[in-house]
Amino acid sequence: MSLRGSTSWIFLRHGESVANAAGWLSGWEDVVLTARGEEQARLAAELLAGVQIGRCLVSDLGRARHTARLALNGRAVPVHTLADLRERHLGVLQRAPIVECTADGRRERYLLPWDLGPPGGESRSTAVRRALAALRHWDDGTPTLVVGHGSVLRGIVALFDGHGPDDLHALPPTANAEPMHRRGPVPWL
């Protein structure tokens, strides 16, 4: 009997990173968690203490892997590292200060649109579709913790909630290390 489509998903953005704290865009940069980010991940472990988790899927970037280790708090579940859960590649905007990108219009021009990305980087569409394709492979009914990144998880959770791609820019940002529970099949685009 197939359980495809009945998966319980827990989405968790990594804890605060040094890039988050300093206000710059990290994308595929492999930045570390701050002490606050580590504490956020430990708090996530407390929030997940009574929640069934059969496995963890985690981005291959260090901030997500570190968050997953802390949030799982020693649980004996299989952990699968997936490059397809990485944050979106930000091309020329990686390491750019967020304040400057907002002030000069690069945020609105390159980061908010669904089908357009910064030069040398990915669009939101490309990054979210990449992650959704990876999740579909694991949609078999096993309660799954997915640890990843703000932009990609924001898109995935919004689609689970019935929002369309054009709505994403108006939704609130994904908070660091706050579990988001969803159930059902991985959405299609």
Q: What are the pLDDT digits (tens) for 151-181?
A: 999 999 999 999 988 787 778 889 999 999 9
Report pLDDT for 3. 55
The side-by-side arrangement of strands in the sheet containing 79-82 is 79-82, 55-59, 144-148, 8-13, 180-183
Separation of CA 51 from chain center = 19
The model's pTM is: 0.95
Residue 5: pLDDT band by 50, 70, 90 thresholds? Answer: low
Pairing status of strand 180-183 against strand 8-13: antiparallel
**Across 1-10, 29-38, 108-117, 157-166, which has the greatest mean pLDDT?**
29-38
Report pLDDT for 182. 96
Residue 45: pLDDT band by 50, 70, 90 thresholds? Answer: very high
Report pLDDT for 153. 96
**How high does pLDDT run on average in the chain?**
94
For the chain, give the percent of residues with pLDDT over 90.
88
Q: Could you report the per-residue pLDDT of 74-106, keeping only the tens digit for each? A: 999 999 999 999 999 999 999 999 999 999 999
Report pLDDT for 2. 44
Q: What is the DSSP letter of 58?
A: E
Residue 105 in 3-state DSSP?
Answer: coil
**Going from the N-terminus, what domains does the chain have, and what CATH number goes with each?**
8-183 (3.40.50.1240)
Q: Name the token pair of 101.
A: 């990108």
* Spatial distance between the Cα atoms of 149 and 121, rounded to a whole number of angstroms: 16
* Spatial distance between the Cα atoms of 151 and 158, rounded to a whole number of angstroms: 11
Say which residue the tokens 């905007």 belong to: 93
Of 88, 30, 91, 22, which is closest to residue 64 (Cα–Cα)? 30
Average pLDDT over residues 119-147: 96
Angle (nearest 5°) at CA 59 between 42 and 178: 35
Report pLDDT for 1. 36
* Spatial distance between the Cα atoms of 74 and 19, rounded to a whole number of angstroms: 27
* Spatial distance between the Cα atoms of 42 and 25, rounded to a whole number of angstroms: 24
**Contact (Cβ atoms closer than 8 angstroms) between residue 17 and residue 36:** no
Average pLDDT over residues 56-73: 98
Active-site positions read 14, 87
